Amino acid sequence: NAGVTQTPKFQVLKTGQSMTLQCAQDMNHNSMYWYRQDPGMGLRLIYYSASEGTTDKGEVPNGYNVSRLNKREFSLRLESAAPSQTSVYFCASTRSDRWNQPQHFGDGTRLSIL
């Protein structure tokens, strides 16, 4: 039961470096999401993809780009990492053609920017 798989689980970057976080789901979900979690702030939506071929900004999109590679995969890219992007990143997916379905989350990626 893989569900939502995120890679890597941990990463340390230097300021200015680039990085792509990978996310894949095997539940045939059409909607996928990227969140960041910071202490005392809960989870905040960065970008989401309602369906294959579409992406939209969430609450905190600045400094990030996304790619919905296919129905299974949704990647998050930091082009020039900044210390403010130190956070735990979660990918999630859901079947949005059934409106009562919850989001399923990956195990998160802990990213530190030095």
Interacting residue ranges for another protein, rule: CB under 8 A: 30-31, 33, 40-45, 48-51, 56, 58, 88, 90, 92, 94, 96-97, 99-100, 102-105, 107-108, 110
Q: How far is the CB of 104 from another protein (least distance, A)?
A: 8
Token pair of 104 as six digits = 């399923």
Q: How far is the CB of 16 from another protein (least distance, A)?
A: 27
The smaller minimum CB distance to another protein, of residues 17 and 44, is found at 44
Q: How far is the CB of 72 from another protein (least distance, A)?
A: 16
- Return the ∠ at Cα 30 (arms to 108 and 43), rounded to 5°: 35
Residues 6+ apart with CB under 8 A from 29: 93, 94, 95, 96, 104
Report the distance separating Cα 17 and Cα 80, nearest Å: 5
